Amino acid sequence: MSGSEAATETLRYASGDLTCAGTLVIGPRADRSSPLLLVSPNWLGTTPEAGSRAARIAGERGIALVADMYGDGRTAKGPEDAGPLADALRRDPAERRRRIVAALHALTAEAARRGLGDPAMRAAIGFCFGGGNVLELARTGADIRAAISLHGDLTSPMPAMHGTVRAALLVLHGSRDPVAPKAERDAFEAEMDAAGANWRMMTFGGLVHSFCEEDAAVPGIAEYNEAAAWASYRMIRDFLAETFAA
C-alpha cells in the first residue's frame, strides 16, 4: 500500500443470523507481517469516533476492525438508547461472546483474503462496554496474544475456567469508576488468579469512567482525562509490542 493515511471502509460479516457492519482500517504500510487488531467500541457502537480510535491504535502498519456488536452498523445517540442495547448483551454472555468472536473471525478472514496481516499477531482492545467485550473474548479461550480493556466491564455471569484464558490481559481502570467499582476489580482479580491467567491492572487514582473518551462529560460518572488518555495509548502500544515480541 502507498500513501500516508489509513484506508477505511465498511466490512460486512455475519454473526449467526445477524448481519454486522464493522469499520475496517488498514494502515498505509500494512503488509503480511502486520498485527491484526480487533477494536471493540463503547456502547454507542461503530461511530466515526470509534473508527478514529481504531486508526490511532493501528498506526501506519496495523490492520484494525471496529466490531459491530448490535448488527447492521447500528449506533446509539446517547445513554437512553445505548443502555438497553448494551445491557441486553450483558445479560446474555453467550450471545455477547458469539458476536465478538465473529468479529475476530471476520478480521482474520478479510486480512487473509487481501494477503495482509499475521494471524499469529492478533489482539483485541476495547473501550467501556467494549472493554467488557474483549475480556469476554479472552474468556472464550480465543487464540489472541493480548486483550486490553480500558475503563470496561470487568465481571461476567460466565467466569473464566482454569486454563482457558490464552491472551495476556491488560486492564486500565479508574479508582473511582462507578460503573465497575472496586468490588468488581477485586472480583476480576480473583477470577483471573483462579483461571491462571496472565494479567495486569493499572488503576488511575481519582478517575471515573470513560477517561479515554474525549466527549465524556458527566461529572462524577464519566469524565475525560487527557493525561490518562495519552498514558493509556502509550501503554497499549508498549503492551502490544511486549506481547508480540514474547
Distance CA 134, CA 31 (A): 25
- At 1 the pLDDT is 38
pLDDT means per 10 residues in the chain (246 residues)? 76 98 98 98 97 96 98 95 96 98 98 98 98 98 98 97 98 97 98 98 98 94 97 98 95
CA distances from 219 to 40, 132, 205, 211, 230 (A): 24, 22, 16, 11, 20
For 111-120, letters b (16+ CB in 10 Å) and e give beeeebbeee
- At 246 the pLDDT is 85
For the entire predicted model, the pTM comes to 0.96
Q: Whose CA is closest to 39, among 47, 29, 50?
A: 50
Domains and CATH numbers, the chain: 7-245 (3.40.50.1820)
